[in-house]
Structure 1
Amino acid sequence: MSYATLFFAVLASSVAVGAAARVTEIKIDKVERISEGPQAYEKILGRAFGALDPKDRRNKDITDISLGLGADGMLHYEAKFTLVKPVDMKVSSGFLWHDVPNRGEAASPGGLETDAGDMMLWSGWQGDNAGLTAIPKDRTTGLTHWVALPMARVDGALVTGNVMARIVNQEGKDSKPLIVHRFPVPYPPATLDTTAAVMKTHLRETVRGEVTEGLDIPSSDWAFAKCDANHPFPGRPIDITPGKADLPVQICMKNGFDPKLVYQLVYPATGAYVLGAGMAAFRDVGSFFKYATKDDAGVANPVAGAVRGSAIRGVSQSGNMLRQFIFMGMNEDEKGRKVYDGAWARIAGRRVSINSRFAQPDGTLELYMMGSEGPQWWTEWDDAVRGLPKKSIFTRCEKNGTCPKVFESFGSAEVYALKMTPEWVGTDAKSDIPLPANVRRYYIASTTHGGNNGGFNWQPTTSAQPTCPGNNFGKGTLAENPIAHIEMENVLKVAMRSWVLNNTQPPASRYPTIKDGNLVIASKENIGFPSNIPGIPDTIFSPDNFIFPILDYNWGPQFDHSEASGIPTNLPPPIKSVIPMMAPRVDADGNEIGGVPTVLAMAPLGTYLGWNITAGGFHAGQICNYIGGYVPFAKTKEQRTATRDPRLSLEERYKDHAGYVKVVIEAANKAYAEGYLLGIDRDRLIREARDSQVLR
């Protein structure tokens, strides 16, 4: 029996013919106690089965949905979920967090949520069956989250199409994998015949997408194969059977790989999952646990009747999923009900690439990656620069009253590497886009992606260079930025629950704007970055190196560039224009102005950056993808003048340890008074500053 036949047979046995678009069955695979006492919690692991009607208006915009139907005319899915809840539901807060797994990650319950009696749910949405989203042979086991979706077929045959992949900073004669952000490109080649593919090399790439091409690699000089010292070129051919293929796809080079080159491969692929259906599966799981009492077979919803309010929450890639989820109108279930009352996108300023054929949702906006197409903003706004219609993320949900209350929180790394500021000012960068009343924006200035561990450590705690998170980018030259996000996140955990359940207004939005003069076109001169800070050469501020702009790609006539749906046929896509990027102004120390108050930024020990500098390899001297940097102040005036450092030393600023602690106390009390710091975190930070070695 073929993979597809088996898949449909298993799901059809669990889903009634002609069922509406919803979860029809849940299976509980394991229940375990994870804490004891009056507030004891348990973890329930299981799977949800459901069906999607391709004719339902809520599903009709899913790319290729009509090509993934079973014999009953429905698209069937199976999604792994984890539910964490109080054992005694009488102590429940009535609030449910539905967390979007980042690349299939396992659940991580605990903290303020369990202290408050919240329920927490995770479920699969990324259906590419690769890396951490791979479907295990025994679907009742494992902790990662996946969703089983059908592959697109025409007249029974799997669709094929071109896919692009890149190999960066690799050397040697061993085979190398095709990856996208550390995970496999999820599509095997349709054939092992390399004459059907094209492999080019690049000698240089700027952050603006300007490419210097090298020689093409002849089809005779590479293979889809595994090779090593014991199996030289052409190596051992890989298995390309859809659903069972060797992933990641391995490439073997006759003459080995040259680390000075980028290898760019366009090849015919197969196994195009109907990935957009994963968004609907996530929606249906969230709706089931919020509204249903039992499934069609009579299995009880473990939290039936307990959910008074819910919020979807995602971080980085999964935060981008959340934004795409709302854009696609998925916050309305099959009965027209609002699925989530709240939504919180953390360190996410775009929409994930999920609703086009052969999409790569693991992508991180490196060259030729999707994710910036169409509206990224919450208010209807013109996009004349790209010639796209006036839309917003809320365009669909505003028509039926299903838009959630939204938090978005992010920092400087999202500005410099993840192309965030057009969400604030549009593609023309002429004026601030106003926020709707149901959206709050919190910018945590001068921070790395997701924040770090905080602490009052003047000197970096390790000499190791931080790793750039991108596709084999390498290391950064500067120490990691230590400023944390957790204090602001703790505020928002409390605030979201109160906003949804009690309509208590959250803290006011805080972010730099054009109007207040703190958001400017990104350049060293405009942002006011000081010269001669140790370790920061002026070359990083070159337009070729400094900030990753949105590139307006032409993906071809079968791709909807506003919806980011359909079929991309231009690979690589021509770049029609480069969208101007803005960045926050900085003070005399190089620290950003604007944003929510954070204690370490108000009592600085150095310059905190949302960017770093790539140390070596193909991207040497450019922004180190999305990892932040830190340059400590000199301790004394003599030390700083010896290096011509323009920033005041620690002693010039604070005099001694007591002086520093005094500034920390003032900063912590200010953030607390303005509502951007919880009392428990304020007290902890003051205690940590007193215990620190700063100016001891």
Structure 2
Amino acid sequence: MAAQHQRALLPQWKLVYIVLVTALVVGGALIAAPAADARITKVVIDIKESPTFGGFEWPGVGKYEKIVGRAFGEVDPFDEKNAVIVDIGLAPRNTRGNVEYSFDFYMLKPIDLSRGAHKMMYEPPNRGGKTWANLGRVVVDPGKNGDDPGSAISNPTALANLFLMQRGFTVVWSGWDKSAGSSNANFNTTITLPIAKNAGNSTITGPAYEYIVTGGASFTLNYSAATLDKTKARLTHRVHLDDLPVDIPASGWNFNAAGTAISLVGSNFIANDIYEFSYTAKDPSVNGLGFAALRD
């Protein structure tokens, strides 16, 4: 199902990322917060391109720069703001008793912030991808990666029409959603979340459900299967939502060796029909930390 896209205009007091990363660029590529800080504890700068957008200059604002990196954070699982996160009490803790996470970020900002708007537009990535080009009718160069907008737009007319840059906004994306996957190649924006464990560090298992509509015969599961025994799982097929689901026999589909994906065999797969997969999964990640990452 398509995810809802949301954009948020944040006031100046939320420019913690901008202030922090700007300080990093001046002072070095890495900074760590004091041990007692239970929010963002470290930021690593992997790429600084200054200027970006091929050096294009917006009147009254100037040139922009691109800053890409990874941020590391932690939360107190007993704080009432965090205790509501599902399974956070079962997540591993560091020596300070906090639960850790990390995420990618991508920032476009005026080189001279004093000429900027002192405001930030934050867009939560859609499964790791940046949607601003599609939503804002931004013209990306043919063959270029829209998830790297600083390097993907060179046409002067297109650049001059960038609404936010004309007005000096800083634009930020950061990882929050597990469904983005684990690879940040090609500027995919990911988050790394802890795995919840039972007391004694034993594996947590439980029922899982996947609603599958895809053009390919293979599908990556959100959670790994606890067993590869196909008699413990059920896969059904239907064409329309109001059709009755029909079971696909075990001979009609397979797990991969790691239990992280399933594939349909031969004529059992019809592109973009509705498949539903029920199985026992393992190793749940603490996904609610993604919202804490946005908050902090």
Q: TM-score range by the shorter chain?
A: 0.5 to 0.7
Q: Hey, what does 1:176 align to over in structure 2?
A: 217
Q: How does 1:162-241 map to 2 (within 5 A)?
A: 162-168=207-213, 176-178=217-219, 184-202=220-238, 204-206=240-242, 211-214=243-246, 216-219=247-250, 221-225=251-255, 237-240=256-259
Q: Distance in 1 between matches of 2:105 and 2:126?
A: 14
Q: 1:95 to 1:262 in 2, by over 3 A?
A: closer
Q: Hey, what does 2:76 align to over in structure 1?
A: 53
Q: 1:16 to 1:195 in 2, by over 3 A?
A: farther
User: Is residue 165–residue 265 contact of structure 1 (8 Å, CA) maintained in 2?
Assistant: yes
Q: 1:41 to 1:195 in 2, by over 3 A?
A: same
Q: 1:283 to 1:162 in 2, by over 3 A?
A: same
Q: In the TM superposition, what whole-angstrom CA distance separates every residue of 1:464-506 from its partner, at most 9, and x where no partner exists?
A: xxxxxxxxxxxxxxxxxxxxxxxxxxxxxxxxxxxxxxxxxxx
Q: Hey, what does 1:143 align to over in structure 2?
A: 187
Which structure: larger Rg?
Answer: 1
Q: 1:194 to 1:51 in 2, by over 3 A?
A: same
Q: Give the superposed CA RMSD.
A: 2.8
Q: Hey, what does 2:107 align to over in structure 1?
A: 83
Give the ranges of 4+ consecutive aligned residues of structure 1 lying more than 6 Å apart after TM superposition.
none
Q: Distance in 2 between matches of 1:162 and 1:126?
A: 21
Q: Name the % identity.
A: 29
Provide the aligned length of Structure 1 versus Structure 2: 229
Q: In the TM superposition, what whole-angstrom CA distance separates every residue of 1:598-651 from its partner, at most 9, and x where no partner exists?
A: xxxxxxxxxxxxxxxxxxxxxxxxxxxxxxxxxxxxxxxxxxxxxxxxxxxxxx
Please, which of 275, 281, 294 is the counterpart of residue 287 of structure 2? 275
Please, which of 64, 73, 81 is the counterpart of residue 41 of structure 1? 64
Q: 1:116 to 1:163 in 2, by over 3 A?
A: same
Letter of the structure 2 residue corresponding to residue 257 of structure 1: N
Q: Distance in 1 between matches of 2:238 and 2:73?
A: 45
Q: 1:166 to 1:48 in 2, by over 3 A?
A: closer
Q: Hey, what does 2:175 align to over in structure 1?
A: 124
User: Is residue 238–residue 250 contact of structure 1 (8 Å, CA) maintained in 2?
Assistant: no
Q: How does 1:233-312 map to 2 (within 5 A)?
A: 237-240=256-259, 245=260, 249-253=261-265, 256-257=267-268, 259=270, 262-284=274-296
Q: 1:28 to 1:256 in 2, by over 3 A?
A: same
Q: Distance in 2 between matches of 1:79 and 1:56?
A: 21
User: Is residue 192–residue 223 contact of structure 1 (8 Å, CA) maintained in 2?
Assistant: no
Q: Quick check: 1:24 aligned with 2:65?
A: no
Q: Distance in 2 between matches of 1:104 and 1:267?
A: 26
Q: 1:108 to 1:271 in 2, by over 3 A?
A: farther
Q: Distance in 1 between matches of 2:190 and 2:277?
A: 28
Q: 1:252 to 1:50 in 2, by over 3 A?
A: same
Q: Hey, what does 2:8 align to over in structure 1?
A: none
Q: In the TM superposition, what whole-angstrom CA distance separates every residue of 1:120-172 from its partner, at most 9, and x where no partner exists?
A: 111111124xxxx2223xx6x641211111111113133222222245587xx
5+ unaligned residues in a row in structure 2: which ranges?
A: 1-31, 130-146, 151-158
User: Is residue 15–residue 50 contact of structure 1 (8 Å, CA) maintained in 2?
Assistant: no
Q: Hey, what does 1:97 align to over in structure 2?
A: 121
5+ unaligned residues in a row in structure 1: which ranges?
A: 1-13, 179-183, 226-236, 285-696
User: What's the secondary structure of 1:40's corresponding residue?
Assistant: strand
TM-score by length of 1: 0.31
Ranked by relative contact order (alpha carbons within 8 Å, sequence separation 6 or more), the top structure is 2
Shift of 1:96: 1.3
User: What's the secondary structure of 1:122's corresponding residue?
Assistant: strand
Letter of the structure 1 residue corresponding to residue 196 of structure 2: A
Q: In the TM superposition, what whole-angstrom CA distance separates every residue of 1:491-542 from its partner, at most 9, and x where no partner exists?
A: xxxxxxxxxxxxxxxxxxxxxxxxxxxxxxxxxxxxxxxxxxxxxxxxxxxx
Higher strand proportion, which one?
Answer: 2
